[in-house]
Amino acid sequence: MKIKSKSAKIGDWIFVVICLLVSTICLLPMVNLLARSLSATDALIKHEVYLWPKGWNLDAYSMVLTDMKYIRAFFWTVFLTIVCTFVSLAMTTLCAYPLIFEKLRGRSVINIFITITMFFNAGAIPNYLLMQALGLLNNPLVLIIPSCLSVYNMIIMRSFFYGIPESLRESAEIDGANFFTILVKIYLPLSKPVLATLALFYAVGRWNGYSDALVYMNDAKYYPLQLLLYNILNNINSVEVATLEGFSSPGLSESLKAAIVMFSTVPILCIYPWLQKYFIHGVTLGAVKE
């Protein structure tokens, strides 16, 4: 067993301290937000709430959890996130898998065209006109189809596939396995780390997304939770909207805003611990070989 030197141990402790400081800095805003959502209105008006609730008031959460507008947007966003994640993983896999075959004709050209899309975009107006021409405006599919594939994520998956020994594929081909059988029986079972990592990327991106719904959707019943939150916080200056949403009281306004943000943030945070063991493993392995 190798014994670490004194300088190495000091370096480890310095690294631990730095990590704890960075973690604390990242957690403080969430702790403050949680404290504000649970505090009494008079304490919020006096700006007495920092990291611990004062007054322990659950009125804000009661309003959020009993308002069908928030509940409907929450379940619609959950459904949308699940569907988008599965569709995106399928599209990413089907795009990355053929590109690892050297026999694929035009593979270099395809790679170039795919990579170009990472750096050049038509812009908001051409994209809007395209969605209009496709009949996707105010259609729930507009929240799924345009963002179903990320080139960056596809490159990660393609690089991961490169790291799987070709001998496995060749032996399967000798046994008579076809293109899709090799993918399903060999590549996908060995790709759990990168699949979990990309699933987290896609899920977080869709859960936090609101700009596409803001531009393409007019029907409020298809608004994701983040767009609902954006509209509420963006329209607080309107007396009518503020009164309708419960923002007429200054103290309740602050508590309700914090409760809505917590309501939209905590669910996606709960997913991370389940995928954490795959996260770093999947990204690093996907970046080893190109």
- pLDDT for 94 equals 92
Check whether residue 39 and residue 164 sit in a common domain.
no
Domain assignment of residue 28, given as a range: 6-45
- pLDDT for 7 equals 75
Check whether residue 169 and residue 40 sit in a common domain.
no
CA distances from residue 271 to 116, 133, 277 in whole angstroms, order as listed: 32, 37, 12
CA dist., res. 114 & res. 156, Å (int)? 13
Residue 53 falls within a domain, yes or no?
no
CA distances from residue 242 to 101, 176, 250, 260 in whole angstroms, order as listed: 58, 66, 10, 14
Sign of CA dihedral 201, 159, 279, 10: negative
Residue 51 falls within a domain, yes or no?
no
Check whether residue 26 and residue 147 sit in a common domain.
no
Phi-psi region of 55 (alpha: psi -120 to 50; beta: other; left: phi over 0): left
Tens-binned pLDDT, residue by residue, of the chain (290 aa) = 556 677 777 888 888 899 899 988 888 888 888 888 888 777 777 777 788 888 787 777 877 778 788 888 889 999 999 999 999 999 999 999 999 888 888 888 988 888 888 888 878 888 899 899 998 888 999 999 988 888 989 988 988 888 888 888 888 888 888 888 888 888 998 888 888 888 888 988 898 888 889 899 888 888 888 888 887 777 655 544 455 555 555 555 677 778 888 888 888 777 777 766 666 665 555 444 44
Check whether residue 22 and residue 86 sit in a common domain.
no
- Residue 197, C-beta contacts closer than 8 angstroms, at least 6 positions apart: 156, 275, 278, 279, 281, 282, 283, 286
CB 213 within 8 A of CB 137: no
Give me the CATH number covering residue 229. 1.10.3720.10
Check whether residue 105 and residue 35 sit in a common domain.
no
Check whether residue 136 and residue 85 sit in a common domain.
yes
- pLDDT for 80 equals 93
Residue 88 falls within a domain, yes or no?
yes
pTM given for the model: 0.80
Check whether residue 247 and residue 274 sit in a common domain.
yes
Residue 50 falls within a domain, yes or no?
no
- pLDDT for 204 equals 87
- pLDDT for 280 equals 62
- pLDDT for 283 equals 55
Check whether residue 194 and residue 118 sit in a common domain.
yes
